[in-house]
Homo-oligomer: A and B are copies of this chain.
Amino acid sequence: MGWSLKRWLIGRPLKSAELGEQKLIKTKALAILSSDALSSVAYGPEQILLTFAAVGPAAFWFSVPIGVGVLVLLTALILSYRQIIFAYPHGGGAYVVSKENLGLYPGLVAGGSLLVDYILTVAVSVSAGTDAVTSAFPVLHAYSVPIAVAFVVFITVLNLRGVTESASILAYPVYLFVAALFVLIVAGLVREFSGVALPEPQTPIGTPVAGVGLFLLLRAFASGSSALTGVEAISNAIPNFKAPATNNAAKTLLAMGLLLAVLFAGIVYFVYDFGVVPDPEVTVLSQLAETTFGRGWMYYFIQATTALILILAANTGYSAFPLLAVNLANDRFIPRMFTVRGDRLGYSNGILFLGLLSILLIIAFQGQTEHLIPLYAVGVFIPFTLSQTGMIVKWIREKPRGWQGKLAVNAVGAFICLTVTGIFFVTKFGRVWPVLVFLPLLIYGFHRIRKHYNAVGEQLRVVPGEPALRIEGNVVILPVGGITRVVENSVNYARTLHADQIIAVHVPFERGEEERFERKWREWMPEIRLVTLYSPYRSILQPLSKFIDTVSRKAEESNYTVTVVIPQFFPRKGWHHFLHNQTSLLLRTRLLYRQDVVVTTVPYHLKK
Protein backbone atom coordinates (compact mmCIF):
# COMPACT_ATOMS: atom_id res chain seq x y z
CA MET A 1 0.00 0.00 0.00
CA GLY A 2 2.84 2.38 0.93
CA TRP A 3 4.32 1.30 -2.37
CA SER A 4 1.39 2.28 -4.54
CA LEU A 5 1.00 5.57 -2.68
CA LYS A 6 4.63 6.31 -3.53
CA ARG A 7 4.02 5.41 -7.17
CA TRP A 8 0.99 7.66 -7.33
CA LEU A 9 2.82 10.58 -5.74
CA ILE A 10 6.11 10.49 -7.55
CA GLY A 11 5.44 8.35 -10.63
CA ARG A 12 7.07 5.27 -12.11
CA PRO A 13 10.84 4.83 -11.70
CA LEU A 14 13.06 6.14 -14.47
CA LYS A 15 16.05 4.41 -16.01
CA SER A 16 19.46 5.99 -15.47
CA ALA A 17 19.74 6.36 -19.23
CA GLU A 18 16.72 8.68 -19.24
CA LEU A 19 18.80 11.32 -17.51
CA GLY A 20 18.98 14.15 -19.97
CA GLU A 21 19.56 17.83 -19.69
CA GLN A 22 17.80 20.63 -21.47
CA LYS A 23 19.79 23.76 -22.10
CA LEU A 24 18.23 27.09 -21.19
CA ILE A 25 17.75 30.04 -23.45
CA LYS A 26 18.36 33.43 -21.89
CA THR A 27 14.76 34.52 -21.34
CA LYS A 28 13.84 31.24 -19.69
CA ALA A 29 17.05 31.22 -17.66
CA LEU A 30 16.33 34.73 -16.47
CA ALA A 31 12.91 33.69 -15.24
CA ILE A 32 13.97 30.46 -13.62
CA LEU A 33 17.24 31.49 -12.01
CA SER A 34 16.02 34.87 -10.79
CA SER A 35 12.97 33.82 -8.84
CA ASP A 36 14.95 33.71 -5.60
CA ALA A 37 16.51 37.13 -6.10
CA LEU A 38 13.42 38.89 -7.52
CA SER A 39 11.12 37.44 -4.91
CA SER A 40 13.29 39.02 -2.22
CA VAL A 41 11.71 42.40 -3.05
CA ALA A 42 8.56 41.02 -1.46
CA TYR A 43 10.16 41.16 1.99
CA GLY A 44 13.33 43.28 1.66
CA PRO A 45 11.69 46.76 1.77
CA GLU A 46 9.47 45.66 4.66
CA GLN A 47 12.58 44.71 6.62
CA ILE A 48 13.92 48.25 6.27
CA LEU A 49 10.66 49.80 7.48
CA LEU A 50 10.50 47.41 10.43
CA THR A 51 13.88 48.69 11.61
CA PHE A 52 12.61 52.26 11.71
CA ALA A 53 9.25 51.34 13.19
CA ALA A 54 10.97 51.23 16.61
CA VAL A 55 11.63 55.00 16.34
CA GLY A 56 8.29 55.94 14.86
CA PRO A 57 6.68 56.69 11.49
CA ALA A 58 8.57 59.99 11.22
CA ALA A 59 11.72 57.97 10.51
CA PHE A 60 10.28 56.10 7.55
CA TRP A 61 11.77 58.54 5.04
CA PHE A 62 15.19 57.07 5.85
CA SER A 63 14.17 53.98 3.89
CA VAL A 64 14.79 55.94 0.67
CA PRO A 65 18.52 56.73 1.24
CA ILE A 66 18.99 53.22 2.68
CA GLY A 67 17.43 51.86 -0.51
CA VAL A 68 20.00 53.81 -2.53
CA GLY A 69 22.76 52.18 -0.47
CA VAL A 70 21.34 48.74 -1.20
CA LEU A 71 21.35 49.56 -4.92
CA VAL A 72 25.05 50.40 -4.71
CA LEU A 73 25.68 47.08 -3.02
CA LEU A 74 23.67 45.35 -5.74
CA THR A 75 25.79 46.95 -8.46
CA ALA A 76 28.99 45.77 -6.79
CA LEU A 77 27.64 42.25 -6.44
CA ILE A 78 26.49 42.01 -10.04
CA LEU A 79 29.87 43.19 -11.34
CA SER A 80 31.74 40.74 -9.11
CA TYR A 81 29.58 37.79 -10.04
CA ARG A 82 29.98 38.67 -13.71
CA GLN A 83 33.68 37.97 -13.28
CA ILE A 84 33.04 34.70 -11.49
CA ILE A 85 30.91 33.62 -14.44
CA PHE A 86 33.80 34.10 -16.85
CA ALA A 87 36.35 32.55 -14.49
CA TYR A 88 34.31 29.44 -13.61
CA PRO A 89 32.39 28.51 -16.72
CA HIS A 90 31.49 25.14 -15.18
CA GLY A 91 29.63 26.80 -12.35
CA GLY A 92 31.37 28.60 -9.55
CA GLY A 93 29.51 27.83 -6.40
CA ALA A 94 30.93 29.49 -3.31
CA TYR A 95 32.04 26.07 -2.04
CA VAL A 96 34.12 25.35 -5.15
CA VAL A 97 35.56 28.86 -5.53
CA SER A 98 36.52 29.14 -1.87
CA LYS A 99 37.93 25.61 -1.64
CA GLU A 100 40.07 26.03 -4.75
CA ASN A 101 41.50 29.42 -3.92
CA LEU A 102 41.36 29.80 -0.16
CA GLY A 103 41.76 26.23 1.01
CA LEU A 104 39.68 23.50 2.57
CA TYR A 105 38.32 25.22 5.65
CA PRO A 106 37.12 28.44 3.98
CA GLY A 107 35.48 26.14 1.43
CA LEU A 108 33.75 24.25 4.21
CA VAL A 109 32.62 27.48 5.86
CA ALA A 110 31.09 28.57 2.55
CA GLY A 111 29.58 25.13 1.89
CA GLY A 112 28.25 24.80 5.42
CA SER A 113 26.60 28.20 5.45
CA LEU A 114 25.06 27.59 2.05
CA LEU A 115 23.77 24.19 3.13
CA VAL A 116 21.97 25.76 6.07
CA ASP A 117 20.99 28.72 3.96
CA TYR A 118 19.11 26.69 1.40
CA ILE A 119 17.00 25.30 4.19
CA LEU A 120 16.34 28.86 5.33
CA THR A 121 15.55 29.87 1.73
CA VAL A 122 12.77 27.33 1.65
CA ALA A 123 11.41 28.21 5.09
CA VAL A 124 11.58 31.98 4.58
CA SER A 125 10.25 32.01 1.02
CA VAL A 126 7.37 29.69 1.74
CA SER A 127 6.41 31.61 4.87
CA ALA A 128 6.54 34.87 2.94
CA GLY A 129 4.45 33.30 0.18
CA THR A 130 1.95 32.19 2.78
CA ASP A 131 1.90 35.73 4.17
CA ALA A 132 0.97 36.98 0.69
CA VAL A 133 -1.95 34.53 0.67
CA THR A 134 -3.13 35.36 4.19
CA SER A 135 -2.82 39.11 3.55
CA ALA A 136 -5.30 38.68 0.71
CA PHE A 137 -7.56 36.32 2.69
CA PRO A 138 -7.27 37.30 6.37
CA VAL A 139 -9.57 34.45 7.40
CA LEU A 140 -6.72 32.07 6.55
CA HIS A 141 -4.34 33.83 8.92
CA ALA A 142 -4.96 31.33 11.70
CA TYR A 143 -3.94 28.46 9.43
CA SER A 144 -0.70 29.89 8.12
CA VAL A 145 1.47 27.08 9.56
CA PRO A 146 -0.50 24.23 7.97
CA ILE A 147 -0.71 26.19 4.69
CA ALA A 148 3.06 26.73 4.65
CA VAL A 149 3.70 23.08 5.49
CA ALA A 150 1.35 22.02 2.70
CA PHE A 151 3.30 24.21 0.26
CA VAL A 152 6.58 22.61 1.32
CA VAL A 153 5.12 19.12 0.98
CA PHE A 154 3.83 20.05 -2.47
CA ILE A 155 7.21 21.39 -3.64
CA THR A 156 8.98 18.36 -2.16
CA VAL A 157 6.72 15.96 -4.02
CA LEU A 158 7.14 17.94 -7.26
CA ASN A 159 10.90 17.74 -6.89
CA LEU A 160 10.81 14.04 -6.06
CA ARG A 161 8.87 13.59 -9.28
CA GLY A 162 11.69 15.42 -10.95
CA VAL A 163 10.33 18.80 -11.98
CA THR A 164 13.65 20.30 -12.96
CA GLU A 165 14.47 23.94 -13.20
CA SER A 166 13.95 23.68 -16.92
CA ALA A 167 10.19 23.13 -16.81
CA SER A 168 8.94 26.06 -18.87
CA ILE A 169 5.81 26.41 -16.84
CA LEU A 170 7.88 27.76 -13.99
CA ALA A 171 8.92 30.73 -16.13
CA TYR A 172 5.47 32.32 -16.45
CA PRO A 173 4.86 33.30 -12.82
CA VAL A 174 8.17 35.15 -12.71
CA TYR A 175 7.33 37.30 -15.72
CA LEU A 176 3.82 37.81 -14.44
CA PHE A 177 5.21 38.97 -11.12
CA VAL A 178 7.62 41.37 -12.82
CA ALA A 179 4.82 42.66 -15.04
CA ALA A 180 2.47 43.12 -12.12
CA LEU A 181 5.05 45.08 -10.15
CA PHE A 182 5.82 47.23 -13.18
CA VAL A 183 2.15 48.09 -13.48
CA LEU A 184 2.16 48.90 -9.77
CA ILE A 185 5.15 51.21 -10.16
CA VAL A 186 3.75 52.88 -13.26
CA ALA A 187 0.40 53.40 -11.50
CA GLY A 188 2.34 54.97 -8.64
CA LEU A 189 4.15 57.31 -11.00
CA VAL A 190 0.92 58.32 -12.69
CA ARG A 191 -0.64 59.07 -9.33
CA GLU A 192 2.43 60.95 -8.22
CA PHE A 193 2.50 63.24 -11.23
CA SER A 194 -1.26 63.63 -11.61
CA GLY A 195 -1.22 65.22 -8.15
CA VAL A 196 -3.93 63.02 -6.60
CA ALA A 197 -3.93 63.53 -2.82
CA LEU A 198 -1.82 61.02 -0.93
CA PRO A 199 -3.61 58.85 1.62
CA GLU A 200 -1.34 60.11 4.40
CA PRO A 201 1.29 62.84 4.20
CA GLN A 202 4.81 61.57 4.86
CA THR A 203 7.61 63.23 6.74
CA PRO A 204 9.67 64.84 3.96
CA ILE A 205 13.02 63.35 3.09
CA GLY A 206 15.74 65.05 5.09
CA THR A 207 13.68 65.80 8.24
CA PRO A 208 15.90 65.16 11.27
CA VAL A 209 14.44 62.48 13.53
CA ALA A 210 15.56 62.02 17.13
CA GLY A 211 16.78 58.49 17.84
CA VAL A 212 18.04 57.69 14.35
CA GLY A 213 21.80 57.20 14.70
CA LEU A 214 24.49 55.37 12.78
CA PHE A 215 23.64 52.07 14.48
CA LEU A 216 20.03 52.19 13.34
CA LEU A 217 21.02 53.21 9.83
CA LEU A 218 23.51 50.37 9.51
CA ARG A 219 20.93 48.02 10.89
CA ALA A 220 18.39 49.18 8.32
CA PHE A 221 20.97 48.78 5.57
CA ALA A 222 21.70 45.22 6.65
CA SER A 223 17.95 44.51 6.67
CA GLY A 224 17.57 45.94 3.19
CA SER A 225 20.44 43.86 1.86
CA SER A 226 18.34 40.77 2.57
CA ALA A 227 16.62 41.71 -0.71
CA LEU A 228 19.83 40.67 -2.49
CA THR A 229 19.77 37.02 -1.46
CA GLY A 230 19.72 34.81 -4.49
CA VAL A 231 21.87 36.90 -6.87
CA GLU A 232 24.48 34.10 -6.90
CA ALA A 233 22.08 31.63 -8.53
CA ILE A 234 23.03 32.42 -12.14
CA SER A 235 26.76 32.00 -11.58
CA ASN A 236 26.19 28.50 -10.18
CA ALA A 237 24.17 27.34 -13.15
CA ILE A 238 26.29 28.28 -16.18
CA PRO A 239 26.44 24.72 -17.58
CA ASN A 240 22.65 24.87 -18.02
CA PHE A 241 22.87 27.76 -20.49
CA LYS A 242 22.83 27.43 -24.26
CA ALA A 243 26.15 28.12 -25.94
CA PRO A 244 27.89 30.53 -25.70
CA ALA A 245 27.09 29.75 -22.08
CA THR A 246 29.29 32.27 -20.30
CA ASN A 247 28.22 35.19 -22.46
CA ASN A 248 24.57 34.31 -22.14
CA ALA A 249 24.91 33.88 -18.40
CA ALA A 250 26.65 37.23 -18.04
CA LYS A 251 23.93 38.98 -20.04
CA THR A 252 21.22 37.27 -18.01
CA LEU A 253 22.94 38.37 -14.82
CA LEU A 254 22.94 41.98 -15.96
CA ALA A 255 19.27 41.79 -16.93
CA MET A 256 18.40 40.34 -13.55
CA GLY A 257 20.38 43.08 -11.79
CA LEU A 258 18.48 45.74 -13.71
CA LEU A 259 15.08 44.22 -13.01
CA LEU A 260 15.91 43.78 -9.35
CA ALA A 261 17.14 47.38 -9.09
CA VAL A 262 13.99 48.81 -10.69
CA LEU A 263 11.57 46.74 -8.64
CA PHE A 264 13.40 47.32 -5.38
CA ALA A 265 13.75 51.08 -5.95
CA GLY A 266 10.12 51.39 -7.02
CA ILE A 267 8.72 49.53 -4.06
CA VAL A 268 10.92 51.32 -1.52
CA TYR A 269 9.98 54.69 -2.92
CA PHE A 270 6.23 54.21 -3.17
CA VAL A 271 5.99 52.48 0.17
CA TYR A 272 7.48 55.66 1.62
CA ASP A 273 5.49 57.94 -0.62
CA PHE A 274 2.11 56.34 0.12
CA GLY A 275 2.82 56.22 3.83
CA VAL A 276 2.55 52.48 4.21
CA VAL A 277 3.15 51.34 7.79
CA PRO A 278 4.23 47.77 8.63
CA ASP A 279 1.43 45.58 10.01
CA PRO A 280 2.01 42.10 11.46
CA GLU A 281 -0.98 40.67 9.59
CA VAL A 282 -0.75 42.41 6.21
CA THR A 283 2.47 42.66 4.21
CA VAL A 284 3.76 46.05 3.08
CA LEU A 285 3.53 44.96 -0.54
CA SER A 286 -0.10 43.96 -0.04
CA GLN A 287 -0.86 47.37 1.50
CA LEU A 288 0.88 49.13 -1.36
CA ALA A 289 -1.14 47.17 -3.90
CA GLU A 290 -4.35 47.83 -2.01
CA THR A 291 -3.64 51.56 -1.71
CA THR A 292 -2.89 51.74 -5.41
CA PHE A 293 -5.66 49.57 -6.85
CA GLY A 294 -8.14 48.95 -4.04
CA ARG A 295 -9.22 45.37 -3.42
CA GLY A 296 -9.84 44.80 -7.12
CA TRP A 297 -8.67 42.07 -9.43
CA MET A 298 -5.31 43.80 -9.89
CA TYR A 299 -4.70 43.56 -6.14
CA TYR A 300 -5.44 39.83 -6.11
CA PHE A 301 -3.30 39.37 -9.19
CA ILE A 302 -0.32 40.97 -7.45
CA GLN A 303 -0.84 38.88 -4.33
CA ALA A 304 -1.16 35.70 -6.38
CA THR A 305 1.98 36.30 -8.41
CA THR A 306 3.87 37.28 -5.26
CA ALA A 307 2.83 34.06 -3.55
CA LEU A 308 3.76 32.07 -6.66
CA ILE A 309 7.18 33.62 -7.12
CA LEU A 310 7.99 33.11 -3.45
CA ILE A 311 7.08 29.46 -3.73
CA LEU A 312 9.25 29.26 -6.85
CA ALA A 313 12.06 30.85 -4.87
CA ALA A 314 11.73 27.97 -2.43
CA ASN A 315 12.01 25.72 -5.44
CA THR A 316 15.46 27.14 -6.23
CA GLY A 317 16.51 25.84 -2.80
CA TYR A 318 15.44 22.41 -4.02
CA SER A 319 17.68 22.70 -7.08
CA ALA A 320 20.68 24.03 -5.25
CA PHE A 321 20.71 22.06 -2.00
CA PRO A 322 20.91 18.53 -3.47
CA LEU A 323 23.67 19.59 -5.90
CA LEU A 324 25.75 21.14 -3.13
CA ALA A 325 25.10 18.07 -1.01
CA VAL A 326 26.38 15.84 -3.82
CA ASN A 327 29.56 17.94 -4.01
CA LEU A 328 30.09 17.70 -0.26
CA ALA A 329 29.22 14.00 -0.19
CA ASN A 330 31.62 13.23 -3.04
CA ASP A 331 34.31 14.96 -1.00
CA ARG A 332 33.21 12.68 1.89
CA PHE A 333 32.07 15.51 4.17
CA ILE A 334 28.45 14.44 4.52
CA PRO A 335 26.82 11.00 4.37
CA ARG A 336 27.18 9.19 1.09
CA MET A 337 23.44 8.71 0.82
CA PHE A 338 23.17 12.23 -0.60
CA THR A 339 24.83 11.02 -3.80
CA VAL A 340 22.18 8.39 -4.51
CA ARG A 341 19.71 9.15 -7.27
CA GLY A 342 16.11 8.24 -6.47
CA ASP A 343 13.56 6.51 -8.65
CA ARG A 344 13.02 9.65 -10.70
CA LEU A 345 16.74 10.45 -10.98
CA GLY A 346 16.63 13.39 -8.58
CA TYR A 347 18.85 13.28 -5.53
CA SER A 348 15.88 12.27 -3.45
CA ASN A 349 17.65 12.07 -0.09
CA GLY A 350 18.71 15.69 -0.37
CA ILE A 351 15.22 16.72 -1.45
CA LEU A 352 13.58 14.89 1.44
CA PHE A 353 16.10 16.17 3.95
CA LEU A 354 15.57 19.75 2.79
CA GLY A 355 11.78 19.42 2.91
CA LEU A 356 11.81 17.87 6.35
CA LEU A 357 14.12 20.43 7.90
CA SER A 358 12.29 23.40 6.45
CA ILE A 359 8.99 22.03 7.73
CA LEU A 360 10.57 21.70 11.17
CA LEU A 361 11.76 25.30 10.97
CA ILE A 362 8.35 26.55 9.90
CA ILE A 363 6.67 24.71 12.75
CA ALA A 364 9.30 25.75 15.30
CA PHE A 365 8.90 29.41 14.32
CA GLN A 366 5.15 29.11 13.83
CA GLY A 367 5.50 30.49 10.31
CA GLN A 368 7.00 33.74 11.70
CA THR A 369 10.11 33.23 9.65
CA GLU A 370 10.80 36.96 9.34
CA HIS A 371 12.81 36.31 12.50
CA LEU A 372 14.99 34.10 10.33
CA ILE A 373 15.63 36.66 7.59
CA PRO A 374 18.74 38.17 9.27
CA LEU A 375 20.16 34.69 9.83
CA TYR A 376 19.35 33.81 6.26
CA ALA A 377 20.98 37.00 4.95
CA VAL A 378 24.16 36.58 6.97
CA GLY A 379 24.32 32.98 5.78
CA VAL A 380 24.36 34.37 2.23
CA PHE A 381 26.88 37.14 2.80
CA ILE A 382 29.45 34.85 4.40
CA PRO A 383 29.84 32.72 1.24
CA PHE A 384 29.55 35.91 -0.89
CA THR A 385 32.55 37.32 0.96
CA LEU A 386 34.48 34.08 0.72
CA SER A 387 33.96 33.60 -2.98
CA GLN A 388 34.90 37.23 -3.78
CA THR A 389 38.02 36.82 -1.63
CA GLY A 390 38.73 33.57 -3.46
CA MET A 391 38.57 35.48 -6.72
CA ILE A 392 41.08 38.05 -5.42
CA VAL A 393 43.49 35.22 -4.61
CA LYS A 394 42.87 33.68 -8.01
CA TRP A 395 43.71 36.93 -9.85
CA ILE A 396 46.85 37.46 -7.83
CA ARG A 397 47.95 33.87 -8.37
CA GLU A 398 47.12 33.58 -12.08
CA LYS A 399 47.63 37.16 -13.20
CA PRO A 400 45.72 36.96 -16.52
CA ARG A 401 45.65 39.89 -18.92
CA GLY A 402 44.05 42.93 -17.31
CA TRP A 403 44.00 41.24 -13.88
CA GLN A 404 44.39 44.50 -11.97
CA GLY A 405 40.95 45.71 -13.08
CA LYS A 406 39.35 42.39 -12.25
CA LEU A 407 41.11 42.31 -8.93
CA ALA A 408 39.76 45.77 -8.16
CA VAL A 409 36.15 44.74 -8.92
CA ASN A 410 36.31 41.63 -6.74
CA ALA A 411 38.19 43.49 -4.04
CA VAL A 412 35.38 46.06 -3.86
CA GLY A 413 32.84 43.22 -3.86
CA ALA A 414 34.67 41.33 -1.11
CA PHE A 415 35.06 44.47 0.94
CA ILE A 416 31.38 45.42 0.69
CA CYS A 417 30.23 41.88 1.47
CA LEU A 418 32.57 41.65 4.43
CA THR A 419 31.28 45.02 5.64
CA VAL A 420 27.66 43.89 5.33
CA THR A 421 28.48 40.70 7.22
CA GLY A 422 30.18 42.78 9.89
CA ILE A 423 27.17 45.13 10.11
CA PHE A 424 24.91 42.14 10.62
CA PHE A 425 27.01 40.90 13.50
CA VAL A 426 27.23 44.32 15.11
CA THR A 427 23.65 45.50 14.64
CA LYS A 428 21.69 42.25 14.76
CA PHE A 429 23.82 40.04 16.93
CA GLY A 430 20.70 38.81 18.78
CA ARG A 431 19.41 37.30 15.53
CA VAL A 432 22.57 36.07 13.84
CA TRP A 433 24.58 34.57 16.72
CA PRO A 434 23.30 31.05 15.92
CA VAL A 435 25.58 31.08 12.87
CA LEU A 436 28.55 31.16 15.25
CA VAL A 437 27.26 28.01 16.91
CA PHE A 438 26.12 25.92 14.01
CA LEU A 439 28.92 26.72 11.57
CA PRO A 440 31.70 25.38 13.86
CA LEU A 441 29.49 22.40 14.73
CA LEU A 442 28.82 21.69 11.07
CA ILE A 443 32.47 21.93 10.16
CA TYR A 444 33.43 19.69 13.05
CA GLY A 445 30.80 17.26 11.80
CA PHE A 446 32.20 17.45 8.23
CA HIS A 447 35.63 16.73 9.61
CA ARG A 448 34.51 13.75 11.68
CA ILE A 449 32.58 12.26 8.80
CA ARG A 450 35.49 12.61 6.40
CA LYS A 451 37.79 11.03 8.99
CA HIS A 452 35.45 8.09 9.40
CA TYR A 453 35.11 7.51 5.66
CA ASN A 454 38.85 7.65 5.20
CA ALA A 455 39.39 5.18 8.04
CA VAL A 456 36.80 2.83 6.57
CA GLY A 457 38.30 3.09 3.11
CA GLU A 458 41.68 2.18 4.47
CA GLN A 459 40.38 -0.79 6.38
CA LEU A 460 38.41 -2.12 3.44
CA ARG A 461 41.22 -1.75 0.95
CA VAL A 462 42.55 -5.06 -0.31
CA VAL A 463 46.31 -5.11 0.03
CA PRO A 464 47.74 -7.66 -2.41
CA GLY A 465 49.63 -10.39 -0.62
CA GLU A 466 48.00 -9.76 2.75
CA PRO A 467 45.60 -12.61 3.49
CA ALA A 468 42.18 -11.54 4.79
CA LEU A 469 41.07 -14.32 7.04
CA ARG A 470 42.60 -17.74 7.39
CA ILE A 471 39.90 -20.24 8.08
CA GLU A 472 40.90 -23.74 9.05
CA GLY A 473 37.49 -25.01 9.97
CA ASN A 474 34.03 -24.24 11.20
CA VAL A 475 32.17 -24.82 14.47
CA VAL A 476 28.40 -24.60 14.26
CA ILE A 477 26.34 -23.57 17.27
CA LEU A 478 22.62 -24.18 17.01
CA PRO A 479 20.31 -22.64 19.62
CA VAL A 480 17.23 -24.87 19.95
CA GLY A 481 13.98 -23.95 21.70
CA GLY A 482 12.30 -27.33 21.55
CA ILE A 483 11.86 -30.39 19.45
CA THR A 484 10.12 -29.00 16.41
CA ARG A 485 10.30 -29.19 12.66
CA VAL A 486 11.99 -25.82 12.58
CA VAL A 487 14.85 -27.22 14.61
CA GLU A 488 14.94 -30.41 12.55
CA ASN A 489 15.23 -28.28 9.46
CA SER A 490 18.12 -26.28 10.85
CA VAL A 491 19.99 -29.37 12.00
CA ASN A 492 19.67 -30.84 8.54
CA TYR A 493 20.95 -27.63 7.06
CA ALA A 494 23.84 -27.43 9.53
CA ARG A 495 24.88 -30.91 8.47
CA THR A 496 25.44 -29.78 4.89
CA LEU A 497 28.01 -27.22 6.05
CA HIS A 498 30.59 -29.94 6.69
CA ALA A 499 31.43 -28.29 9.98
CA ASP A 500 33.98 -29.87 12.26
CA GLN A 501 31.54 -29.77 15.13
CA ILE A 502 27.83 -29.06 15.58
CA ILE A 503 26.68 -28.11 19.06
CA ALA A 504 22.98 -27.72 19.84
CA VAL A 505 22.32 -25.39 22.76
CA HIS A 506 19.16 -25.31 24.87
CA VAL A 507 18.43 -22.69 27.54
CA PRO A 508 15.84 -23.95 30.03
CA PHE A 509 14.37 -21.58 32.64
CA GLU A 510 13.58 -24.24 35.19
CA ARG A 511 15.79 -26.73 36.93
CA GLY A 512 13.83 -29.91 36.15
CA GLU A 513 13.55 -28.96 32.49
CA GLU A 514 17.28 -29.49 31.91
CA GLU A 515 17.34 -33.22 32.37
CA ARG A 516 14.00 -33.80 30.73
CA PHE A 517 15.07 -32.01 27.57
CA GLU A 518 18.43 -33.77 27.43
CA ARG A 519 16.70 -37.13 27.60
CA LYS A 520 14.24 -36.24 24.88
CA TRP A 521 17.06 -34.92 22.67
CA ARG A 522 19.15 -38.06 23.12
CA GLU A 523 16.21 -40.09 21.89
CA TRP A 524 15.54 -37.79 18.95
CA MET A 525 18.97 -36.80 17.66
CA PRO A 526 21.60 -38.81 19.46
CA GLU A 527 24.31 -37.90 16.97
CA ILE A 528 24.18 -34.14 17.66
CA ARG A 529 25.84 -32.97 20.85
CA LEU A 530 23.51 -30.99 23.14
CA VAL A 531 24.56 -28.44 25.74
CA THR A 532 21.94 -27.16 28.18
CA LEU A 533 22.50 -23.85 29.91
CA TYR A 534 20.14 -23.39 32.85
CA SER A 535 19.17 -19.72 33.04
CA PRO A 536 18.04 -18.77 36.53
CA TYR A 537 17.28 -15.22 35.39
CA ARG A 538 15.07 -16.39 32.48
CA SER A 539 17.24 -14.73 29.87
CA ILE A 540 18.09 -16.61 26.69
CA LEU A 541 20.48 -14.04 25.28
CA GLN A 542 22.82 -13.80 28.24
CA PRO A 543 23.85 -17.43 28.84
CA LEU A 544 23.87 -18.10 25.13
CA SER A 545 26.19 -15.25 24.25
CA LYS A 546 28.44 -16.20 27.17
CA PHE A 547 28.66 -19.73 25.80
CA ILE A 548 29.31 -18.47 22.27
CA ASP A 549 32.06 -16.25 23.67
CA THR A 550 33.76 -19.23 25.26
CA VAL A 551 33.54 -21.29 22.09
CA SER A 552 34.74 -18.31 20.01
CA ARG A 553 37.82 -17.78 22.12
CA LYS A 554 38.85 -21.40 21.74
CA ALA A 555 38.04 -21.42 18.02
CA GLU A 556 40.04 -18.26 17.40
CA GLU A 557 43.22 -19.82 18.68
CA SER A 558 43.10 -22.40 15.93
CA ASN A 559 41.63 -20.12 13.22
CA TYR A 560 38.22 -21.73 13.30
CA THR A 561 35.13 -19.72 12.48
CA VAL A 562 32.09 -19.95 14.70
CA THR A 563 28.79 -20.00 12.84
CA VAL A 564 25.61 -19.62 14.81
CA VAL A 565 22.70 -21.17 12.95
CA ILE A 566 19.48 -19.57 14.11
CA PRO A 567 16.23 -21.23 13.19
CA GLN A 568 13.50 -18.69 12.65
CA PHE A 569 9.97 -19.26 11.59
CA PHE A 570 8.03 -16.73 9.61
CA PRO A 571 4.28 -16.64 10.06
CA ARG A 572 2.16 -16.03 7.04
CA LYS A 573 0.66 -12.70 8.08
CA GLY A 574 2.24 -9.55 9.43
CA TRP A 575 0.17 -9.33 12.60
CA HIS A 576 1.16 -12.84 13.54
CA HIS A 577 4.59 -11.54 14.47
CA PHE A 578 3.07 -10.04 17.62
CA LEU A 579 2.10 -13.51 18.68
CA HIS A 580 5.64 -14.82 18.74
CA ASN A 581 8.59 -13.66 20.67
CA GLN A 582 11.30 -12.15 18.57
CA THR A 583 14.15 -14.13 20.11
CA SER A 584 15.67 -15.00 16.74
CA LEU A 585 15.75 -11.39 15.71
CA LEU A 586 17.20 -10.19 19.02
CA LEU A 587 19.75 -12.95 19.02
CA ARG A 588 20.89 -12.18 15.50
CA THR A 589 21.19 -8.46 16.14
CA ARG A 590 23.08 -8.90 19.38
CA LEU A 591 25.46 -11.52 18.05
CA LEU A 592 26.29 -9.58 14.91
CA TYR A 593 26.89 -6.32 16.74
CA ARG A 594 28.75 -7.60 19.72
CA GLN A 595 30.60 -10.69 18.64
CA ASP A 596 32.74 -11.81 15.82
CA VAL A 597 30.65 -14.78 14.75
CA VAL A 598 28.91 -15.57 11.51
CA VAL A 599 25.14 -15.73 11.88
CA THR A 600 23.10 -17.95 9.59
CA THR A 601 19.34 -17.68 9.63
CA VAL A 602 17.41 -20.69 8.43
CA PRO A 603 13.89 -19.51 7.74
CA TYR A 604 10.88 -21.71 8.12
CA HIS A 605 7.92 -20.20 6.38
CA LEU A 606 4.62 -21.27 7.84
CA LYS A 607 2.04 -22.30 5.30
CA LYS A 608 -1.02 -21.57 7.46
Contact residues of A with B, CB < 8 Å? 13-17, 335-337, 340-341, 343, 449, 452-453, 455-456, 458-462, 468-471, 473-474, 483-486, 488-489, 492-493, 495-498, 509-511, 524, 536-539, 561, 563, 568-571, 576, 578-581, 588, 592-593, 596-603, 605-608
Contacts and interface: CB of A to CB of B under 8 A. Distances in A.
Nearest to A568: B592
B488 A468 contact: yes
Nearest to A17: B536
Nearest to A608: B455
A contact patch SS: mixed
A366 B462 CA distance: 62
14 contacts: A16-B509, A16-B510, A16-B537, A452-B571, A458-B608, A459-B606, A462-B488, A468-B492, A471-B492, A471-B496, A498-B498, A570-B593, A598-B603, A599-B600
A470 B488 CA distance: 11
A489 B469 contact: yes
A337 B335 CA distance: 39
A336 B579 contact: yes
Nearest to A474: B496
A473 B496 contact: yes
A418 to B, nearest CB: 35
Contacts of A483: 462
A599 B602 CA distance: 7
Task: Count this chain's copies in the assembly.
Answer: 2
Contacts of A570: 592-593
Contacts of A474: 496-497
A453 to B, nearest CB: 7
- Which are the 8 A-B pairs with shortest beta-carbon distances? A468-B488, A460-B484, A15-B536, A498-B498, A455-B608, A600-B600, A13-B537, A469-B489
Contacts of A511: 17
A469 B494 CA distance: 12
B569 A606 contact: no
Contact of A456 (B335, B601, B606): B606
B603 A601 contact: no
Given A343-B537, A598-B603, 20 more contacts: A15-B536, A16-B509, A335-B578, A340-B581, A449-B579, A452-B576, A460-B569, A461-B485, A468-B485, A468-B488, A471-B492, A471-B493, A493-B561, A493-B598, A497-B498, A498-B498, A570-B593, A599-B600, A599-B601, A601-B601
